[in-house]
Amino acid sequence: MKIYVFGNPFIDEDNMAYLVAKKLDIPGIEFVYCRSPEVLIESGKDLVIMDVVANTDKVVMIDDIDLLHQFSLLSLHDFDLAYFLKLLKKMGKIKTVKIIGVPQKGKVEEIVKEVAPLLSSFNSS
């Protein structure tokens, strides 16, 4: 299973998803590090994204793209990810979307402990 990881490894406010993914080694999980949302166009019907979310201190799971407006994804600053995902869904390019939102700040090791079981559960389903 591919997990599409967004964020800029060089910007502290936007690198947590990248740092977490680099620490994880889960059989059957491949991390794809994305700089642009266009990579999602050919990602497959069931999409899993990991990105930094503002205003949270814990890992959140977003599985309804209609609820994305309640969260502030920090990557893709100049791009409306919710709109892009809705467009892909309407075009039939994707069927389901799950976004693992990680906090902007915190201890990488603690966030890894929250994210790992989520990814393992995706892999077993």
CATH number, domain with residue 102: 3.40.50.1450
Q: Quote the strand ranges of the chain, DSSP E.
A: 2-6, 30-34, 46-53, 60-62, 96-103
- Pick the range with the lowest mean pLDDT from 3-12, 22-31, 41-50, 79-88: 79-88
Helices (H), the chain: 16-23, 81-90, 108-124
pTM of the model: 0.88
**Res. 77: pLDDT tops 80:** no
**Res. 52: pLDDT tops 70:** yes
Domain residue limits at 41: 2-124
Confidence of residue 61 (pLDDT cuts 50, 70, 90): very high
Residue type, 119: L
Report which of 117, 124, 113, 121 is spatially closest to residue 23, judged by C-alpha positions: 113
Distance of CA 50 to the CA centre of its chain: 2
Cβ–Cβ < 8 Å for 33, 124: no
Q: How many domains does the chain have?
A: 1
